[in-house]
Amino acid sequence: MVVATMYRRHKAMPREETLGILSFDASKTMCSLISLYKSLSDQEFTKLRNEVIKSKGVAYLNSQHECFLLNLAAAERLEEVDAAADTVSRLGRKCSDFGLARFDLVYADLKLGLIDLGTLSYGSRNSDKIITKMEKLVSSTESLRSAMESMGELEASNKKRQHSKILVTTKSSNYSTPNLEYFNEKMAFKRKQVQHYKEVSLWNQTFDKTIGIMAKAVCIIYARICSAFGAYITNCNCYNSVSDDDNNNVLLGFDYCCCLLEHRELYRKNCCLYEESLQRRVTKSGPIPKTNNKTGVIRFLNNHLPLDFNGEIDNNKIVNNNNNKVLRLAPAWTVGGAGLAARYAEVILFAERCLHAPATVGEDAREALYEMLPARLRGKVRAKLRGRWRGEEEGEALAEGWRQAVEDLMEWLSPVAHDTARWQAERHMEKARFETKPTALLLQTLHYSDLEKAETAIVEVLVGLSCVYRCERR
């Protein structure tokens, strides 16, 4: 009797809902979390501090201040984990567990400091297990996607075959019978393959189990950002006015402290960026004189972005504007603020091709490159070319000298352009969103580069290439 009652109760319990078609949305977010987790490893963080930040292109075009660049990195990673947390919260509403169903409240408490971050140990055996589990689920879900696409193509082919039967003669239909049998066998195999992947992938996982894994990953990653970046940001020692003698250390007009951040302000609140105007000041960075006033102390506070900021973004815009505060904050005097990051990266990469593989570049392509430049840059190139050829004799020695000069410039300019193209591809190409490798950061790109300095370098490269081309053709 008792056994029968238990059986009836068990039978009456509703079956937990599985992800189904939402598995692909969950898989994309898992990929983002895995990528974030890997990007915060000790090895990657050491590489960021010792290689990326200290690279010639980043130091010259963007900033020499470590704390400013680390603030950009921390802010961008926080935006990425916030975006993942938003997806987890949305999918979590279908969970039966209240803590998962209202993960937005849990995450808010985490950012307010109401949850002990010490219990969320990055790199521990438990956290590594979570990442490994997600990697397996992502792999099987991607296999499911591929199998479903393949089956869809076969079904479309079958419909065309069925439609064409009306117009086929008896002889041709008899001839195609073996092919039809092979096709049916292939379809049966694909259906079994799809069914198998559905059973082992996220498709067949319950909301509670999947969201539980993802929620843990979000919290671990958030805690890691706090511990990894917090010490460098709170110990910033650049809150001092800069004398004229120290202008070479001030890049992009970020006077006084370049970050002015509090650990609690950065990590414990619902952070966002805003731009604070500073007093007018003439700054110099490297060989290029600065005579216009620039603003841009970046702070992380519990405020909204100013509504009147209207800096242009590159043509390929990211869809979700709520999580692009770091992208949109670039002032108008930066390459990204002027909306030219993608275009200038393309120009630099094309110039690199002209330098190393000139035989692959035709006259039409060179003309297209020239037309790609903004009008003011075309004017600078023309003016500089006229000045270069006055009184200079053409010859192999001159061509070799120009080539060496261009190679020296491209040595530090090219990596920034490659990282710009990589950053764009990782955010905009659908296939790249399912990659689990660490992604590039905005600080590595042309987005926050000084517009005047970037354009001067590009002009020098184009003029140099033109001189090399002219000398070698003579």
Distance CA 247, CA 214 (A): 46
Over residues 425-430, the mean pLDDT reads 81
Per-residue pLDDT at 386: 80
The more confident residue out of 85 and 283 is 85
Over residues 119-131, the mean pLDDT reads 88
SS3 279: coil
The more confident residue out of 320 and 272 is 320
Per-residue pLDDT at 283: 32
**% of the chain residues with pLDDT over 90:** 43
Per-residue pLDDT at 157: 81
Per-residue pLDDT at 394: 58
The more confident residue out of 234 and 113 is 113
pLDDT at 382 over 50: yes
pLDDT at 284 over 50: no
The half-sphere exposure of 44 on its side-chain side, counting CA atoms within 13 A, is 17
**% of the chain residues with pLDDT over 70:** 70
Nearest CA among 23, 60, 131 for reference residue 411? 60
Q: pLDDT tens-digit profile of 237-276?
A: 544 433 434 333 333 333 333 333 333 333 333 333 333 3
Pinpoint the alpha helices (H) of 272-395. 325-328, 341-356, 363-372, 375-388
CA-CA-CA-CA torsion sign (288, 289, 293, 299): positive
Per-residue pLDDT at 318: 43
Report residue 78 as tokens: 């926080």
The more confident residue out of 234 and 306 is 234
Q: pLDDT tens-digit profile of 323-362?
A: 577 888 888 889 999 999 999 999 999 999 888 887 777 7
Single-letter amino acid, residue 345: A
Per-residue pLDDT at 82: 93
Q: Which of 299-303, 363-367, 380-384, 426-430 has the lowest mean pLDDT?
A: 299-303
Mean of pLDDT over the chain? 76
- Return contacts of 166-169, CB within 8 angstroms, 24+ apart: none
Q: Which of 100-109, 127-136, 305-314, 330-339 has the lowest mean pLDDT?
A: 305-314
pLDDT at 119 over 50: yes
Per-residue pLDDT at 60: 94
Per-residue pLDDT at 117: 74
Distance CA 348, CA 341 (A): 11
Single-letter amino acid, residue 88: V
Over residues 9-27, the mean pLDDT reads 78
pLDDT at 422 over 50: yes
Residue 404: DSSP 8-state: H
Q: For residue 461, what is the enclosing H or E element?
A: helix 451-473
pLDDT at 36 over 80: yes
Q: Which of 107-116, 323-332, 409-418, 419-428 has the lowest mean pLDDT?
A: 323-332
Single-letter amino acid, residue 246: D
Burial 33-59 (b: 16+ CB within 10 A, else e): bbbbbebbeeeebeebeeebbebebbb
pLDDT at 393 over 60: no
Per-residue pLDDT at 53: 94
Beta bridge partners, 334, equal: 450
Distance CA 68, CA 248 (A): 16
Distance CA 223, CA 451 (A): 35
pLDDT at 58 over 90: yes
Rounded to two decimals, the pTM is 0.77
Per-residue pLDDT at 316: 42
Beta-sheet pairing, 272-276 with 297-301: antiparallel
What Å distances lie between residue 474 and 396, 399, 471, CA to CA?
9, 10, 5
Over residues 198-222, the mean pLDDT reads 95
Over residues 82-87, the mean pLDDT reads 94
Residue appearing with tokens 């990055």: 122
Over residues 308-331, the mean pLDDT reads 55
| Close Cβ partners of 431 (under 8 Å, ≥ 6 residues apart) | none
Nearest CA among 196, 63, 37 for reference residue 121? 37
Over residues 205-226, the mean pLDDT reads 94
